[in-house]
A and B are shown apart, each in its own frame.
Chain A
Amino acid sequence: MTSNYLVYLIALPLFGSALLLLAGRKADKWGHLLGTAMSGGAFVIGLYEFTQMLGRSNEQRAVTQKLFNWISVGSFQVDAGLMLDQLSICFVLLITGVGTLIHIYSIAYMSHDLDRRRFFAFLNLFIAAMLLLVLGDSYLNLYVGWEGVGLASYLLIGFWNQKPTYATAAKKAFVANRVGDMGLSLAIMISFATLGTVSFAGVKEHAGQASTGALTAIGIMLLVAATGKSAQFPLQAWLGDAMAGPTPVSALIHAATMVTAGVYLITRSNFIFDAAPTAQLCVAIIGAITLLFGAVVGTAKDDIKKALAASTMSQIGYMILGAGLGPAGYAFAIMHLLTHGFFKAGMFLGAGSVMHGMDDEVNMRRYGGLGKFMPITFATFGLGYLAIIGVPPFAGFYSKDKIIEVAFNAGGIKGITLGSAALLGAAITAFYMTRVVILTFVGNKRWAEKAHPHESPALMWLPMVLLAVGSVASGFIFTHGNSLKNWLAPVVEQSPVHEGELLKPAVVSVLALVLVILGVGLAVLKYVRKDIPLVAPSDVSIFTRIARRDLLQDDFNEALFMKTGQGITRALVVTDKSIVDGAVRGVARLVRGSGSALRLTQTGFVRSYAMWILVGAIGLVAAIWVVTL
């Protein structure tokens, strides 16, 4: 099946972005409306394609569109082509749907910002790049989108780059992403060298003939790419700093969509990972490490956005873990991704709403008791909270429990380890999310003196309400009759062998619920009764201090990579100055020296020139004479 409308999905926001950037200040009055309209238009096209898709049988739902012949070198042919299948449409609807809501939210949130037009231009650029990422029909096309979202992320994190720390945060995100991008480009190169093709269909077809070693190499490189983009261990350090960007950016890019691109990449490459068990195991391990890592960091953060960022990291860890569990887990990874898109975006918008009402204060120790003053924010945030900690029947309960269950059923020690990690993560999640809610909305007031908390305007709370509805209902809709699993079945082929179940679903649910209640209870005990000090206490255990420092990831990177890199740079500078520059300057000095020596022969006397001519002529005659003799 082909479709002619796919290109407009990307073209609309791209056009919006280009127009807003080129039109300059003239577009200040209507720029935000155009940006929102373009994003909304893409959502409408996505919905249209979705309804078309529903009308076809399961095997024929994927549609493609060839745009142009992009690279044609010898036997290497790459078409710029788009492909919309059951997996991409989930992303398209999430990106354009949540994206449009966040555009609407940003109209109000950024209304006092002089550069609101530029902000919307970047948001549209992001939407276009992200759609290209999920619609590309080859790794190379995906790569273009992959770099595009990296650029948009960089531009938006550093949107307020008049503050040097924000500009540094943007740079940090960009550099960390470069490491991951290098993994993706290496994966593409290995894929071309061993399989001779980079399109999804071609790689899927030829994957059976390649050696396991080559597939493992591709898989590991794809995992490196995913860790960079999705802020997974060990490249996760940038996500916390990325909160320097405006809150709608954190909600859209650094919670709901861009950071989940790694999950998309792994799910899309399921044919590689299913044939390379080592790489698949690495994926699961990375996911398990990150979900605990993020959760632990989340318990120690006082900045509401950084706490949510750590939570995002942890939740994406769940998705990566799910994707690393093979055919049994892909659908649940995507399901958690979609539900997370709703509840985390909703909570970030809630955090933005709180900041909006509290003069951009982000320290939760300066909040407290805001529930009464911001009832809608409190309600929507609360629903997102119930969803993320996995209280039935909210969305997170369905998706997260399924991942924990699949992890336990992966078999052997691997299953028990991964399952326990996921279960422990659920308990810590409950603890730190409860902490966030209590510190922000409950308890005594700890505001700055001039703070006047108030509910945000309708343009802001409307998207929050819609996302809260998603947080409540999406889990039930996706699991009802295994709808999402069956929907994705043609893309991520189900394994025919069904492994024995270690734990029954009901047991997992009860276990998870008990741990969640424990986590919530602990947080309530710790934070509801006590007075919260305005400044984080310093006489705390070494573990708390390490957690506050992001588990020393920055220090590690600094010691191992930054210091080494600086050392190499210094050595190279010395080499450059003494050897490379030395050679160049030496040649120059030689030419200048010989020039000034030869200058002395230019006397200006005709007779001396005549003398030289005579000497030359005699020399010439003598030479000829000698040669002919």
Chain B
Amino acid sequence: MASNSIKLLAPDVHRNLAELVAKRLGLRLTDADLKRDPTGEVSFSIGESVRDQDIYIIMQIGSGVVNDRVLELLIMINACKTASARRITAVIPNFPYARQDRKDKSRAPITAKLMADMLTTSGCDHVITMDLHASQIQGFFDIPVDNLYAEPSVVRYIKENVSWKEAAIISPDAGGAKRAATLADRLDLNFALIHKERARANEVSRMVLVGDVTDKICIIVDDMADTCGTLGKAAEVLLDHGAKSVIAIVTHGVLSGRAIENINNSKLDRVVCTNTVPFEEKMKSCSKLDVVDVSSVLAESIRRLHNGESISYLFKHYPL
């Protein structure tokens, strides 16, 4: 690249992750001024020139105002594009609408595909995300997508914070079996699966445990925790089958609705989320929450992407 300068942008809300990334990279977050009018329309101005520069927009999309965040992101990308930025990378650790990834009913929208198209349309050149709900979503894009894994960070957390030698890795549903199995292989631990029959979204019906968890510390691994109803039920099933204790490790702790209540009332010892989703406020009202910092993974991927180095190292290793 002719111009080698890099700029990090983040919206005015939920800057924690972006600040951690910036600190790790030794960069300053560029002033980006997002303003909203009472109806929600967004206007955006960048405090400095972005001409011919490599732009990274770090957007944390939590629960609640997803559409606002999405439009803000698109407008920021488009603004940089019209301001002649050389390349724009959207860093969206928690990809919005990732669960709307297939036509599961007649005439259901494939919103994840729409999101991909919208990002491309707005002028995005590259996407960095983490633990996509379905890695096939990468195929929805016409631009390169780097799907990072939280696994190295999670492995590190488990090794440091759990007496992991006597643990077992549990997948709370069939869909996440592969993710859990990889982690189990990585740590050389037993693996069990909870099979559930889901009547409606966010509702749990019947749960069957496949595998032995007697006297084990069970680590439930999932990519997303929403209302946490599933996790709570899974913990009960595991304890009924003789588990010693249960902790849950999820990548995206959306924790919407009655999640905090569900966690507090559940038999889970701990719920560990990465900081892809902002949930600092929620940690205050729930002592069972813990956080895994993934900012160094994101920072390293940004550094490697900017310098044109391979990113695949990060899929297996935690950057030190």
Answer yes or no: are A and B bound together in one complex.
Answer: no
Q: Which residues of B contact A (CB under 8 A)?
A: none
Q: Which residues of A contact B (CB under 8 A)?
A: none
